[in-house]
Amino acid sequence: MYAGRKAFTLIEILIVVVILGALAAVAIPHYAGAKNKAYQATMTADLRAAAILEEQYAADNHGQYFSGAATSASLLNGFTPSKDVTVTFTAFNILGSQLADWIAVARHGQSTENCELRTGVITCTNEHGLTTGAIHTH
């Protein structure tokens, strides 16, 4: 505690490092949660767009649905999902009848969650199979 000093003491620097470490320990988990929610929102938006396209396709093709996988680099019947998202369509068509259904599953390349659209309900689950969100689309 000299009047003319020009540098910080070791104790002052250590106190600042401890405070910054404590702030980082609080902020990082919240940031990771926000990223997962953003990935989930992207997958949900892609599934809603996929539902519109799938139903339009069925209306034009005698109630029959299509199957396949779509990525941002590989389109499927004109459907383009968001970056790093893969949407897989699975159709259950009984030829010659109106008994048909489909599901779609969206996976984000940077998330461990996936979201599934089945009978108008989007359900998102984590890597342990626990539901992290459900949205009714109609």
Sign of CA dihedral 29, 47, 133, 136: positive
Name which of 133, 120, 109 is nearest 47 in CA terms: 120
Could you tell me if 121 and 137 are in contact, meaning their C-beta atoms sit under 8 angstroms apart?
A: yes
Q: How confident is the model at residue 85 (pLDDT cuts 50, 70, 90)?
A: very high
Q: State how far the Cα of 29 lies from the Cα of 53, in Å rounded to an integer.
A: 37
Q: CB-based burial of residue 104 (10 Å sphere; 0-12 exposed, 13-18 middle, 19+ buried)?
A: buried
Our CA dihedral for 87, 93, 99, 101, rounded to 10 degrees, sits at -10
pTM over 0.85: no
pLDDT (0 to 100) of residue 44: 93
Residue 25 token pair:
């320990």
pLDDT of residue 8: 86
* pLDDT at site 94: 74
Q: Is 32 helix (H, G, I), strand (E, B) or coil?
A: helix
